[in-house]
Amino acid sequence: MTSLITLLADGKFHSGEELGNTLNISRAAIWKRLKKLENDTNLAIHSVRGKGYKLDSPLSLLDSELLDQQITQWPITVLPNISSTNTECFRLLNTGMPAPLAVTAEQQTAGKGRRGRQWVSPYGQNLYYSLLIGLKNGSHQLEGLSLTIGLAVLKTIKKMGLIQAGLKWPNDLLFDNKKLCGILLELTGDPADICHVVIGIGINVNMPQAITEINQPWTSLRQELGTLIDRNKLLVELNYSLSYYLKIHYQHGFKALKEEWQENNLWQHQIVNLLQGNQQITGKMLGVDDTGALKLLINNEIQYFNAGEVSLRLATSTHD
Ligand code: BTN
């Protein structure tokens, strides 16, 4: 299965005969495998008489051998398909695997977003990545952790060339007010003592605008940079950056990264609406405190808000 998709990944036409010869199977077997591939991945495979088969557009597939060699910070498991890379991290933890460890996949069938939302995860297009870490002094280390992760992902995205991307509190990455990346932290154990955190990161990498299931403005690196992004390179950079920022976070806490976070805060000093259940609070965003709490100026008084079941909007925007 993997080798057939690898052959088609260049987005060019390949005849049934050529595919059959390369994989050493009959043309009828190729046709069967193509149907299964279409079914498993939801990728559209075009068939043109006299030319052969091709994908809609080229894919940058994950190369597990290369990733295994180049990601040295922690072991990484590369899967073709999984319900959710976050869920898989918890499963591996339950089988006794030690943290840290990372999981990535070509496709998620039940990708999880914040506030119970679904995270749209088509095959071969984006980055679906989770890192399991263990924390000894849970509650202290958890302070601002999701903001630290946002910063690590932002650094990676800038390294890939999208230098105008920025942060939206607590941990979204936006470009031109469109979502580029989402982060979901899930915890198990005692947050006041020893616990494990799964850091789930979804980056829109090569996703075409044709995807319609996403109910908020979004963009992808490919759309903004105008070129197919090498997802292996992105993943190698991401692991490097996560390890760099996590080290600072473990040693000095989020406070050591607060200034850098604020420099990259897209809505610094802007008027924002904070939604807390049915309640809407409007204030000027002054930044964040040492624990990553949002600092708003409301009627000349500074108030602090923790991430959780709150969401932030620009006062002039209709989307979160
Ligand atoms: C958000 O709603 O903004 C958070 C989205 C987090 C998505 C990522 S994709 C990899 C990991 N696995 C999941 O099921 N969710 C996270």
**Domain definitions of the chain by residue range:** 2-55, 64-262, 267-314
pLDDT at residue 214, as a whole number = 78
pLDDT at residue 308, as a whole number = 72
pLDDT at residue 1, as a whole number = 46
Q: Is 267-314 a domain of CATH 2.30.30.100?
A: yes
The CB of 146 under 6 Å from ligand 1? The reply is no
The CA 108 to ligand 1 mean position distance, Å, reads 10
pLDDT at residue 72, as a whole number = 97
The number of the ligand 1 atom at minimal distance from the alpha carbon of 84 is: 14
Maximum Cα interatomic distance, the chain, rounded to a whole number of Å: 75
The CA 171 to ligand 1 mean position distance, Å, reads 12
Cα separation of 187 and 178, whole Å? 28
Choose which residue among 79, 91, 125, 128 to substitute to test ligand 1 binding: the one with the highest number of ligand atoms within 8 A of its C-beta: 128
3-state secondary structure of 47: strand
The CA 257 to ligand 1 mean position distance, Å, reads 23
Query: Between helices 231-252 and 145-159, what is the axis angle to 10°?
Result: 140
Backbone angles phi, psi at 270, to 5 degrees: -100, 160
Q: What is the pTM of this model?
A: 0.94
Alpha helices in 42-181 (DSSP H): 64-70, 85-94, 138-142, 145-159
The CB of 41 under 6 Å from ligand 1? The reply is no
The CB of 84 under 6 Å from ligand 1? The reply is yes
The CA 114 to ligand 1 mean position distance, Å, reads 7
The CB of 292 under 6 Å from ligand 1? The reply is no
pLDDT at residue 309, as a whole number = 61
> 171, 147 in Cβ contact below 8 A?
yes
Among residues 237, 221, 218, the alpha carbon closest in space to that of 229 is found at: 221
Return the number of other C-beta atoms located less than 10 Å from residue 94's C-beta: 9
Tokens of 21: 């010869």
DSSP characters for 245-278?
HHHHHHHH-GGGGHHHHHHTBTTTTSEEEEEETT
From first to last of its 320 residues, the chain has per-residue pLDDT tens of 458 999 999 999 999 999 999 999 999 999 999 999 999 999 999 999 999 999 988 999 999 999 999 999 999 999 999 999 999 999 999 999 999 999 999 999 999 998 889 999 999 999 999 999 999 876 789 999 999 999 999 999 999 999 999 999 998 999 999 999 999 999 999 888 889 999 999 999 999 876 667 778 899 999 999 999 999 999 999 999 999 999 999 999 999 999 999 999 999 999 999 988 888 999 999 999 999 999 999 999 999 999 876 678 888 764 44
The CB of 184 under 6 Å from ligand 1? The reply is yes
Cα separation of 157 and 154, whole Å? 5
Cα separation of 35 and 294, whole Å? 50
CATH topology of domain 64-262: BirA Bifunctional Protein; domain 2 (3.30.930)
Consecutive H or E run containing 7:
helix 2-8
pLDDT at residue 317, as a whole number = 60
The CATH architecture one would assign to domain 2-55 is: Orthogonal Bundle (1.10)
3-state secondary structure of 166: strand
Return the number of other C-beta atoms located less than 10 Å from residue 132's C-beta: 25
Burial of 90 (0-12, 13-18, 19+ CB in 10 A): middle
Return the number of other C-beta atoms located less than 10 Å from residue 33's C-beta: 18
